[in-house]
A and B are shown apart, each in its own frame.
Chain A
Amino acid sequence: MESPKTADIAHIGRSVIIKGELSGSEDLYVDGQVEGTIELQGNSLTVGPHGQLRADVNAKNVIVHGVLEGNVKASERTDLRKSAVVTGDIFSQKIAIEDGAYFKGKVDIQKETPKNTHSGVKPETPAAAGNGPERASSPVVAAAVAAASSSTNTAPGDKTPVTEQKKF
């Protein structure tokens, strides 16, 4: 798959490694390595075939061609292509999984949220890095420094322990 060439999409190349919180207000294409969280509320995230993400993702649409380890929250659609390897829970309105994709986790289909709120309660907004009074349209901001090295550290997985074991 060729990476998108439009100027409207931010692009993280194969050699780039990012550790930390990634947030922005434009579409993002990741073909490198990201460890941390990705916040793209209202925009789309595409994980390229060489992309390796160990991150929780929050976006409007999430399309995965590569490896994603983490939970996915997509307000509209999640797309796992045939080369995708996804480990984590998916919360999405719609999900499409191509034959050949690998998925380990839970699927929670979210109904479309109503536009009106009840009792004056404001709808929840996901936490985002760099909160301020206003967030003007801006390019993707990495909270951590991107390194061009090829080595990565593996963070220990976060697994729920089994509290009861039936012995034979």
Chain B
Amino acid sequence: MATHSLMRLFRGTSVETGTNVRGSQKERLTRKSSGMNELTRVMRSEDTLCVLDIGSTSATNIRYLTELGHKPYSEDLLDASTDPSLITRDENGQQSLDSKRFLSENLTYPAAQFDVVMCWNLADYMDETLVKPVVARLWSVLKPGGALLAFFHTQEAGVDAPCYRYHIVAPDTLEMQHIEAHKDLRKGPPGAIQNSSPAGFKLQRVFNNRHIENLFRDFGSIKFFLTRDNVREVLVVR
């Protein structure tokens, strides 16, 4: 909490022994997270856990996890899904993304590698052709008993619900920062994929509870946490 207060006072900077967050930062909104609170109980283990964060690179999360003694892995799957070379067309001429190629280049980890996966709002904003294959891959890289946290918008959130990246600032508190799809010099111009635009990522769909249960049907258990900001938090365990 002291660190959180310090970050608010000195906007864009923080002082930590292990990890720093510096540079200009867009405004961050704070929200309480029951799902994160539940996940934190898992991460308070004295063992070194392997934690996969598939949201945007977050120095805050890396710091939080390393200070707990865990090994964070970072991989921005939403950004990776905007690679123009993934675009393909089916026999009807419909544009879609090559999920096989996507998975050959991303989430390439050994089976049962991770204790925790932080999925955030990926499923809401990722192209439809990738969602199920990605969830299947996440199942395989999670250890038995491993936990995955994901967020899903409710219908009330609206089609223009902005895409945020989430920073863990306390066991039950997240900071949300609006994501803008930026130009990636390695991959070419932004907006190459229909789910992104220079202004940010667009909400692709709204999952209801049944859709979410179906999406995670291969997991052992699922827990829902309803929040006030039209976001459903889901914690699944393999």
Q: Is A94 an interface residue (CB 8 A)?
A: yes
Tell me which of A81, A95, A104 contacts B62 (CB under 8 A). Answer: A95
User: Who on chain A is nearest to B77 by CB?
Assistant: A104
| Count of chain A residues with a beta carbon within 8 Å of a chain B beta carbon | 30
Q: Is A85 an interface residue (CB 8 A)?
A: yes
Contacts A97-B59, A102-B57: A164 and B112 contacting too (C-beta < 8 A)?
yes
User: Who on chain A is nearest to B139 by CB?
Assistant: A166
Residues of A contacting B34 in the complex (Cβ-Cβ under 8 angstroms): none
> Is A159 a contact of B140 with CB atoms below 8 Å?
no
A interface footprint on B1-43 (CB within 8 Å = 1, 0 otherwise): 0000000000010000111111111100000000000000000
Residues of B contacting A165 in the complex (Cβ-Cβ under 8 angstroms): 136-137, 140
Among A129-168, those with CB < 8 Å from B are 159-168
Q: Is B74 an interface residue (CB 8 A)?
A: yes
The smallest beta-carbon distance between B66 and chain A, in angstroms, is 5
Residues of A contacting B184 in the complex (Cβ-Cβ under 8 angstroms): 85, 102
Q: Is B72 an interface residue (CB 8 A)?
A: yes
Among A102-117, those with CB < 8 Å from B are 102-109
> Is A94 a contact of B108 with CB atoms below 8 Å?
no
Tell me which of A67, A82, A162 contacts B109 (CB under 8 A). Answer: A162
Q: Is A99 an interface residue (CB 8 A)?
A: yes
> Is A166 a contact of B140 with CB atoms below 8 Å?
yes
> Is A161 a contact of B73 with CB atoms below 8 Å?
no
The CA-CA distance from A94 to B139 in the complex, in Å, is 32
> Is A107 a contact of B218 with CB atoms below 8 Å?
no
User: Who on chain B is nearest to A106 by CB?
Assistant: B73
> Is A159 a contact of B62 with CB atoms below 8 Å?
no
A interface footprint on B128-171 (CB within 8 Å = 1, 0 otherwise): 00001100110111000000000000000000000000000000
A interface footprint on B102-125 (CB within 8 Å = 1, 0 otherwise): 000101111110000000000000
Q: Is A4 an interface residue (CB 8 A)?
A: no
Q: Is B172 an interface residue (CB 8 A)?
A: no
Residues of A contacting B139 in the complex (Cβ-Cβ under 8 angstroms): 166
Among B37-71, those with CB < 8 Å from A are 57, 59, 62, 66, 71
Q: Is A121 an interface residue (CB 8 A)?
A: no
Q: Could you list which residues of chain B lie within 8 angstroms of chain A, going by C-beta atoms?
A: 12, 17-26, 57, 59, 62, 66, 71-76, 79, 105, 107-112, 132-133, 136-137, 139-141, 182, 184-186, 218
Q: List 12 A-B contacts (CB under 8 A).
A: A85-B185, A94-B18, A95-B66, A96-B22, A97-B20, A97-B21, A102-B57, A105-B73, A106-B74, A107-B72, A162-B109, A162-B137
Q: Could you list which residues of chain A lie within 8 angstroms of chain B, going by C-beta atoms?
A: 67, 81-82, 85, 94-109, 159-168
